[in-house]
Amino acid sequence: MWLEILLASVLGFVIYWFISRDKEETLPLEDGWWGPGARPTAGEDESIRPFKVETSDEEIIDLHRRIEKVRLTSPLEDSRFHYGFNSNYLKKILSYWRNEFNWKKQVEVLNRYPHFKTKIEGLDVHFIHVKPPQLPAGRTPKPLLMVHGWPGSFFEFYNIIPFLTDPKNHGLSDEHIFEVICPSIPGYGYSEASSKKGLNSVVTARIFYKLMLRLGFQEFYVQGGDWGSLICTNMAQLVPSHVKGLHVNMALILRNFYPLTLFLGRPFRGLFGYTERDVELLYPLKEKMFYSIMRESGYMHIQSTKPDTVGCALNDSPVGLAVYILEKFSTWTNAEFRDLEDGGLERKFSLDDLLTNVMIYWTTGTITSSQRFYKENMGQGFMAEKHYRMKVHVPTAFAAFPCELLHTPEKWVKFKYPKLISYSYMARGGHFAAFEEPELLARDICKFVGLLERQ
């Protein structure tokens, strides 16, 4: 009997090793057309056009009118943020939004960096392109593509950009100076939404790769969290020879043996490669994994199945849109914020910054198209696409922020990203890393690039 068990274990290990060994596969690059109707026979206009964010008195008057007509439901006693966004605190936000928030001023803030649009695969793709204000003699900046997620936007990167493009004047070494490109995912903000089904993370990665080529970059660094981490990962799987380095602060790594070790990882952490910090971030397992997933994934089920239904309601009500988005900036920043009457929103963000992100969705009417990205990526089944089963063979760095929705240990990351050269336990911060802790994230990006370039 024991011999049979031993032989079965050895056979299982051999099979596991065979199917999990590093295969340097790449995704096919392909092509597509996502604009309305059939693809024109004439070639696509590849010009890059300057763009400015604009607003009008009519837009602001309409917003104020809708806020004034809001109908709220009283919260349960002592419910805080356990039932979702607390409407008592919401009254404060709505008062500020209606009476103090200055959208015209925030439009000027948005236009602080240069905006552009260009047609790629039938869609007008929006991006900001920020070059260093000054460069030491003989130096050239390193191109860095930074990709946002949901319910964020390119605006998440506004506070990190100075650390990357002008590090010396912001307390960092000028060993690494970047020029930063932040596009909007198609269907988000100022990027045109697809007219056709199927525009997923792989397609978006291809579109952004074409954008970087159009800007004249044959090699570049990429960084992302949330959907941005998946898009950047896909880009490394599509065109690994063009991606010099990949930095992510989130990773979905479920197709391997390691998640099964969670049940034994606490008493046998050394056996499975878990550090003391991993144990702190993963356990108690029931609370930090299972209950957390149940609490925070309801939106995902809706958006992965019928995004247009809830989208109709959110696109018609600025208040509904705001609470749907801002709730994520509470509990995704720190799960314990659900115990606070105000959801802890103003502990890490200003109301101006939070409402500016909401306004990008509201004024462009893109909440529905942004939610469709879940349907396109998960509508065929969770992690059903080929790229989830593929490894990434470009130099990689991972920043593990302690309040991220799910902690990903280094062993797990290295399974998916065999060329992991930097794994950092970050001192603080949650899901919206660039927005919440821009200096910490900038320092980790620079550390990674330094390690890579010294190899």
28-83: per-residue pLDDT in tens? 999 999 999 999 999 899 999 999 999 999 999 999 999 999 999 999 999 999 99
pLDDT tens for residues 100-122? 999 999 999 999 999 999 999 99
Per-residue pLDDT, 6: 39
Judge contact between 370 and 185, C-beta under 8 A: yes
What percent of the chain has pLDDT above 90?
Answer: 84
pLDDT higher than threshold 60 for residue 178: yes
Q: Which residue has the higher pLDDT, 453 or 1?
A: 453
Per-residue pLDDT, 382: 66
State the chain's mean pLDDT as an integer. 93
d(CA 193, CA 207): 13
Model confidence band, residue 397 (pLDDT cutoffs 50, 70, 90): very high
CA angle 224, 202, 359 (to 5 degrees): 55
Nearest-Å Rg of the Cα atoms of the chain is: 23
**Structure tokens belonging to residue 416:** 């998916």
* 3-class state of residue 421 by DSSP: strand
pLDDT higher than threshold 60 for residue 224: yes
Model confidence band, residue 255 (pLDDT cutoffs 50, 70, 90): low
* Torsion 9-10-13-19 (CA) sign: negative
Which range among 259-268, 272-281, 303-312 shows the weakest confidence by mean pLDDT? Answer: 259-268
CA angle 93, 96, 100 (to 5 degrees): 160
Per-residue pLDDT, 293: 87
Judge contact between 32 and 121, C-beta under 8 A: yes
Q: Kindly report the pTM of this predicted structure.
A: 0.94
Per-residue pLDDT, 257: 67
Residue 380: count of CB within 10 angstroms of its CB? 12
**Structure tokens belonging to residue 357:** 């992100």
Catalytic residues: 226, 374, 431
pLDDT higher than threshold 70 for residue 345: yes
Model confidence band, residue 13 (pLDDT cutoffs 50, 70, 90): very low
